[in-house]
Amino acid sequence: MTDSDLSPDPLVDPAAMRKQYRAAGLDEKDLAAHPMDQFSRWFEDAARAALHGTLYEPNAMVVSTADAAGRPSSRTVLMKGYDTDGFVFYTNYDSRKARELADNPYVSLLFPWHPIARQVIVTGVARRTGRDETAAYFRTRPHGSQLGAWASAQSSVLSSRDELDAAYEELGARYPEGERVPVPPHWGGFRIAPETVEFWQGRESRLHDRLRYVARRDGAWDVERLSP
């Protein structure tokens, strides 16, 4: 095989892919005083883009954790709430991410809103939500998703898809539609209390705007501009 055989088709060559971001810039004077207020503004923009079919699942975020030895792992999960205290998602507490957070509570979040040339990058500390808050959210999940929280031993090895389907069918027979499904004791939420929140706005010639909020000990926030 020659080097020419390995040359990628220009259509799928990553090095040849180019897109100019022509969105308006992000200026310090336009930022909200609190990063979660600024996030709310951008999340509303992302939600509107999703409504118009431009963006898919604006609440999808990449959650990156690291184990006790510092080895990282990432996955996409759905944010299910946010407030001044941080960002909330739910998971199986026996999953890989939950086990890593038990050993190392520092976490990074990334909201990849590429169709609108924006990203939000968060670093912070994860804490479990209370059982009352977890139960309140669990009750809002569709019946099938409630059963799925029981059926899946998340991150464990399966012998086959049939094993998972059989567990789900057994639970469906035990808790038919309309019957109350108990909250799994091994399932619940994490709230990520942010320490930094970066708002990334794509600009032309790769000269992007990057404004990062950094938490201070007194509860206030500093804002710093990062080189793109």
Give pLDDT tens digits for 189-215.
999 999 999 999 999 888 999 999 999
pLDDT confidence tier of residue 85, bands split at 50, 70 and 90: very high
What span, in angstroms and rounded, lies between the C-alpha atoms of 69 and 122? Answer: 22
What span, in angstroms and rounded, lies between the C-alpha atoms of 86 and 165? Answer: 35
Q: Per-residue pLDDT averaged across 121-129, rounded?
A: 98
Structure tokens at 53: 């079919």
The residue among 91, 76, 112 whose CA lies nearest residue 184 is: 91
- Please provide the average confidence, as pLDDT, over all residues in the chain: 92
State the pTM of this model: 0.88
Rg of the chain over all Cα atoms, to the nearest angstrom? 21
The residue among 128, 93, 107, 125 whose CA lies nearest residue 65 is: 107
Catalytic residue numbers read: 206
pLDDT surpasses 60 at 3: no
What span, in angstroms and rounded, lies between the C-alpha atoms of 26 and 202? Answer: 9
pLDDT for res 44: 98
Cβ of 38: how many Cβ atoms within 10 Å? 21
Cβ of 61: how many Cβ atoms within 10 Å? 23
pLDDT surpasses 90 at 95: yes
The DSSP 8-state label assigned to residue 104 in this structure reads -
What span, in angstroms and rounded, lies between the C-alpha atoms of 100 and 98? Answer: 5
